[in-house]
Amino acid sequence: MKKLINHPEYVVQEMIEGMALAHPQIVKKLPDTHVLVRADLSKEKVALVSGGGSGHEPSHGGFVGTGMLDAAVAGEVFTSPTPDQLLAAIKAVDRGKGVLLVIKNYSGDVMNFEMAMELAEAEGIQVKKVIVDDDVAVKNSTYTVGRRGIAGTVFVHKIAGALAEQGASLDEVQKVAEKVISRVRSMGMALSPCTIPAVGKPGFEIGEDEMEMGMGIHGEPGIDRTKIASADEVASTLVSYILEDMPCREGERVAVMINGLGATPLMELYIVNRKVAKLLQEKQIQVHKTFVGEYMTSLEMAGCSVTLLKLDDQLTELLDAPAQTIAWS
Amino acid sequence: MKKLINHPEYVVQEMIEGMALAHPQIVKKLPDTHVLVRADLSKEKVALVSGGGSGHEPSHGGFVGTGMLDAAVAGEVFTSPTPDQLLAAIKAVDRGKGVLLVIKNYSGDVMNFEMAMELAEAEGIQVKKVIVDDDVAVKNSTYTVGRRGIAGTVFVHKIAGALAEQGASLDEVQKVAEKVISRVRSMGMALSPCTIPAVGKPGFEIGEDEMEMGMGIHGEPGIDRTKIASADEVASTLVSYILEDMPCREGERVAVMINGLGATPLMELYIVNRKVAKLLQEKQIQVHKTFVGEYMTSLEMAGCSVTLLKLDDQLTELLDAPAQTIAWS
């Protein structure tokens, strides 16, 4: 196993320490937890808490900061964060205006976040939740009932975070998060597997001349395993699945995210974007903004996902609002 | 060869198109070239042009924009850009205040940039150059006389770009670039090789339990091939080579860059940073700012480099000045 680590048992702990040491102006580590919270929590506002298994960096700690999340809770690699750590995060960031939990739809995550929600409510904190399920590839999966939540979650962080920063109420922030969820769709594909440090060998195999369309960010099965196709063919397939699920009319405005899963070079992501942009142009769907890079990864998996978010005026303004985080600024 | 591409012959062309399509507010493609220039070239100022072989993204096109480069010229993968494309870039961005070329120290790059410089001067454009050679690993290498230029180059783009944006003269911008070069040192290491698309197989091999310290960003030989060490040991080795070459006294201020070579997860880069931060703390070297991510990659090579830049008041202010580019903002 070729990894730059010290010991598999300490990867999450040491990563969180490394993040806090790198960006003390933006985040700090909550003592005795794997929770990153904003360095400055003085502003009275609705707080946003997200999190999930580690191995998807920069999600979610990279999106803690002004205009996005107030706290991110990291579980062990590909493992849901525990209710007690989630509760610690909620308590640390609540300023009396309520807390919104942004949960990716995996059964373990949903269960643990809901448990933390109950515990927090029992302590008098007002908590609401949204569940992101943007992955159009498959319904029900290894760890999920319903659709999985993947890179589109980052748009929820950005837009709900911007509205919270403006002083909106918990109901309003929840409502805009639900609106994003109703208008965001993603799908991914993988060329190679990844290795959980504590396991030490790849979780699955993909043949030297194969790829898997619709693969999940933990290596959950996708739709189809085929011979490697060209970047243009991959882009076309991903976009057509997304638009079949969420039709876009001529003249509609979208934000596009081309997300790398970890080992895929930016060069390849931009080659994919070239085709995605051309496909959207042909359909006269207007691209307001494009994000290309690593937003929600799967350790060193090779592959990418495409996300489309249908914008209206409110979402456009909130997407464009300033943010100061590690991975979005 | 597992790559998300269409045809090896078109990867650079299609990547540049994909970048221009993704970020029209920031960059545009110079027709019939592999040159990205700022979308807005209206400001009268000294222009900065850099470039080099492709495969190191986001270098250099990702650093074109306000406060950094005016143009980036992309050669074929790991191949110097041609003098005619460099000349086209110089002519496109010159606003009568002169042009500074930022060259990484590879013999082919230096030769082609110098040829373009002569051609531009023959057309009456004032051009100066700086050559970045921050890699402390080896003197003289496969493609280089003297030291190689690697990730420290991005600090030259940032700081010289900020001074040019403030309206400084060509001499002043060259002088500050030279100052950065005299105060920046880097060293890298690799866990796995990368594959040039047109070649179709890895340029070299590294055994399953091996790593190479001091490897160059094109896979040039390093100092030492050893058994894989821990992240802490790797960080210690890289920092000690850098500080041996450029001693830092107690209380001195530095900027730190932990740069991923392509396939190494952010998780691992932050684990490396944790140790680098601790080592600098122990030596009472003050870290002004830390950058962790992909700044100068080698396609899908696994590994990282560490860069230290010694700051003074001028460099600190210019490093912190605003910039609006694809990969630095």
Q: The CATH number of the domain where A76 resides is what?
A: 3.40.50.10440
Tokens standing for residue A220? 């959950």
Residues of the domain holding B55: 8-182+321-325
Average pLDDT (A134-138) is 95
* Binary contact (A274, B192; C-beta < 8 A): no
Amino acid at A298: S
Residue B141 pLDDT more than 80?
no
pLDDT for position A144: 80
Q: Do B302 and A22 touch (CB under 8 A)?
A: no
Q: Tell whether the model's pLDDT for residue B143 goes beyond 80.
A: no
- pLDDT tens digits for A64-111? 999 999 999 999 999 999 999 999 999 999 999 999 999 999 999 999
- Please check whether residues B117 and B237 belong to one and the same domain: no
Distance of residue B53 Cα from the nearest chain A Cα, in angstroms: 12
User: What's the complex ipTM?
Assistant: 0.97
Same-domain status, B89 and B226: no
pLDDT, one tens digit per residue, over A45-62 is 999 999 999 999 999 999
Yes or no, beta carbons of A267 and B57 under 8 Å apart: yes
Same domain, B190 and B120: no
All residues of chain B having their beta carbon less than 8 Å from the beta carbon of residue A211 are 2
Whether B288 is covered by a domain: the verdict is yes
Question: What pLDDT was estimated at residue B313?
Answer: 98
Q: What is the pLDDT of residue B164?
A: 98
Residues A22 and A115 in one domain: yes
Q: Give me the CATH number covering residue B284.
A: 3.30.1180.20
Instruction: Provide, as residue numbers in chain B, all residues whose Cβ is less than 8 Å from the Cβ of A256.
Output: 22
C-beta of residue A69 within 8 angstroms of C-beta of residue A161: yes
Q: Give a yes or no: residue B2 inside a domain.
A: no
Distance CA B272, CA B236 (A): 9
Inform me whether the pLDDT recorded for B209 exceeds 80.
yes
Arithmetic mean of pLDDT, A313-326: 98
Question: Over the stretch A274-302, which tens digit does the pLDDT of each residue have?
Answer: 999 999 999 999 999 999 999 999 999 99
Q: What is the pLDDT of residue B1?
A: 73
B83-132 tens-digit pLDDT:
999 999 999 999 999 999 999 999 999 999 999 999 999 999 999 999 99
**Each residue's pLDDT tens digit, B44-88:** 999 999 999 999 999 999 999 999 999 999 999 999 999 999 999
Q: Which of B260, B24, B36 is nearest to A273 (CA)?
A: B24
State which residue of chain A sits closest to B303, comparing Cα positions.
A4
Percent of chain B with pLDDT over 70: 100
B1 belongs to a structural domain: no
Chain A residues whose beta carbon lies within 8 Å of the beta carbon of residue B256: 22
Backbone φ and ψ of B147, nearest 5°: -85, 155
Instruction: Please give the tally of structural domains in chain A.
Output: 2
A23 is catalytic: no
For residue B214, the model assigns a pLDDT of 95
Are A93 and A238 found together in one domain? no
Q: Tokens standing for B98? A: 């002169």
Same domain for B257 and B307? yes
Same structural domain for residues B87 and B148?
yes
Q: Are B265 and B192 in contact (CB under 8 A)?
A: no
Question: Of the residues A34, A56, A60, A157, which is catalytic?
Answer: A56
Within a domain: B3: no
Among A165-174, A215-224, B135-144, B252-261, the minimum mean pLDDT is found in B135-144
Same domain, A235 and A275: yes
In a domain, B41, yes or no: yes
Give the active site residues of B. Answer: 56, 218
pLDDT in tens, A221-254: 899 999 999 999 999 999 999 999 999 999 999 9
Nearest CB among B2, B3, B266 relative to A57 is that of B266
Cβ atoms of A129 and A113 closer than 8 Å:
yes
Residues A236 and A121 in one domain: no
pLDDT at A138 over 90: no
A288 is catalytic: no
pLDDT band, residue A255 (cuts 50/70/90): very high
- In which band, very low, low, confident or very high, does the pLDDT at A1 lie, cut at 50, 70 and 90? confident
B260 part of a folded domain:
yes
Residue B102, strand partner residues:
B50, B130
At residue B144, the pLDDT reads 79
- Per the prediction, chain A carries an average pLDDT of 97
Residue B324 CA to its chain's centroid (Å):
17
The answer as to whether B140 is a domain residue is yes
Between chain A and chain B, the number of residue pairs with CB atoms below 8 A apart is: 170
Facing residues of A253 across strands?
A286
Q: Using the beta-carbon criterion (under 8 Å), do B267 and A54 form an inter-chain contact?
A: yes
Retrieve residue A207's tokens: 């043949």
- Asked if A101 and A129 touch (Cβ cutoff 8 Å), the reply is yes
Q: What is the pLDDT of residue B237?
A: 98
Residues 6+ apart with CB under 8 A from B302: A2, A263, A300, B190, B191, B192, B261, B262, B263, B264
Which residue, A201, A186, A5, is CA-closest to A105? A186
Out of A23, A34, A157, A218, which one is annotated catalytic?
Answer: A218
Q: Is residue A1 part of a domain?
A: no
Which residues in chain B have Cβ-Cβ distances shorter than 8 Å to A263? 262-263, 300, 302
My answer on whether A289 and A206 are in the same domain is yes
- pLDDT band of residue B195 (cuts 50, 70, 90) is very high
**B64 and B202 within one domain:** no
For residue range B271-308, list pLDDT tens digits in order: 999 999 999 999 999 999 999 999 999 999 999 999 99
Find, among A35, A138, A30, A24, the residue nearest to A81 by Cα: A35
Residue B32 sits in the same domain as residue B130: yes
pLDDT at residue A143 greater than cutoff 80: no
Q: Which among B2, B212, B308 is the top mutation candidate for probing chain A, defined by the most A β-carbons within 10 Å of its own β-carbon?
A: B2
Residues in chain B closer than 8 A to A272 (CB atoms): 4, 18
